[in-house]
């Protein structure tokens, strides 16, 4: 099992420069996740020994891609136990991260995890996406919608398009052959541009072996 020092070393080697305080925050998040996952199923039990790689580093692939602009507002859809939003927000405290999930007990814990980072850049909502999209204060509010393996591209866009700024982007963590999913999205949204980026971490083979990708979607004017 990976330890915080190895996590810091690999992140540093891959261009994600974390301070000692940030690594300590990740360690606290890891320990709380281990504790609470025995009581509330936030992540797969078989992944408990792989949190550093399969959850923290996977989420940080968004940061590694350098897709997110400075001081951007991000909406994490279906965040579950706080992924990818909390790791992204720890590594990039300049970002404003709003996390939303419809399952109240998960969001209660996610809110607690976010609060325990000691940072002020997290906001949590317990809501269905369709309901959040009816909130006038949220309309055209976000620069990016981020998500990890929540739903097909078409569904995500249908749920959240009113919340995204005019020039906003979707930055989605997915895996496997996405040919049909991308085709369906372009049929539903003909002016949609989709870029597929293979995730690669120096020193970690899992992302390549599992065919993990970042899908970046934006609308052509």
Report the pLDDT value the prediction gives residue 134, as an integer from 0 to 100. Answer: 87
Report the pLDDT value the prediction gives residue 130, as an integer from 0 to 100. Answer: 85
Residue 209 has a CB neighbour count (10 Å cut-off) of: 8
Where residue 32 falls among pLDDT bands split at 50, 70, 90? very high
Q: Which DSSP state fits 149? A: S
Report the pLDDT value the prediction gives residue 153, as an integer from 0 to 100. Answer: 97
Report the pLDDT value the prediction gives residue 80, as an integer from 0 to 100. Answer: 80
Which of 54, 41, 101, 42 lies closest to 77, judged by CA? 101
Report the pLDDT value the prediction gives residue 6, as an integer from 0 to 100. Answer: 97
Mean pLDDT of 20-29: 98
Give the least confident one: 9-13, 81-85, 134-138: 134-138
Whether residue 43 has pLDDT greater than 90 = no
Alpha-carbon distance of 16 to 24, in angstroms, equals 15
Report the pLDDT value the prediction gives residue 82, as an integer from 0 to 100. Answer: 94
Report the pLDDT value the prediction gives residue 34, as an integer from 0 to 100. Answer: 93
Which of 25, 31, 27, 36 lies closest to 106, judged by CA? 36
pTM for this predicted structure: 0.96
pLDDT digit string (tens) for 118-175? 999 999 999 988 888 888 888 889 999 999 988 999 999 999 999 999 999 999 999 9
Report the pLDDT value the prediction gives residue 21, as an integer from 0 to 100. Answer: 97
CA distances to 35, 172, 189, 212 from 159, rounded to whole Å, are: 32, 14, 13, 24
Report the pLDDT value the prediction gives residue 136, as an integer from 0 to 100. Answer: 83
Task: Indicate the average pLDDT of the chain.
Answer: 95
Take residue 77 and report the two structure tokens written for it: 């859809």
List domains and CATH numbers for the chain. 4-219 (3.40.50.150)
Whether residue 183 has pLDDT greater than 90 = yes
Say if CB 93 and CB 18 are below 8 A apart. Answer: no
Mean pLDDT of 185-190: 98
């Amino acid at each position: 099992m990976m330890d915080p020092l190895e996590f810091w070393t690999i992140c540093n080697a891959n261009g994600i420069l974390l301070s000692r305080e940030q690594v300590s925050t990740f360690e606290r998040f890891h320990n709380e996740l281990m504790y609470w996952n025995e009581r509330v199923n936030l992540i797969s039990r078989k992944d408990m020994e792989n949190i550093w790689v399969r959850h923290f580093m996977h989420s940080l692939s968004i940061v590694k891609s350098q897709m997110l602009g400075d001081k951007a507002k991000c909406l994490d859809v279906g965040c579950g136990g706080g992924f990818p939003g909390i790791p992204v927000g720890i590594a990039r405290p300049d970002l404003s991260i709003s996390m939303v999930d419809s399952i109240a007990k998960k969001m209660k814990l996610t809110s607690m995890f976010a609060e325990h980072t000691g940072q002020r850049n997290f906001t949590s909502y317990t809501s269905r996406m369709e309901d959040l999209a009816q909130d006038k204060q949220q309309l055209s509010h976000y620069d990016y919608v981020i998500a990890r393996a929540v739903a097909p591209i078409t569904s995500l866009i249908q749920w959240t398009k009113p919340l995204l700024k005019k020039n906003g982007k979707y930055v989605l963590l997915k895996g496997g052959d996405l040919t049909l999913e991308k085709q369906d999205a372009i049929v539903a949204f003909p002016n949609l541009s989709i870029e597929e980026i293979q995730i690669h971490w120096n020193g970690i083979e899992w992302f390549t072996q599992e065919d993990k990708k970042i899908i970046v979607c934006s609308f052509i004017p």
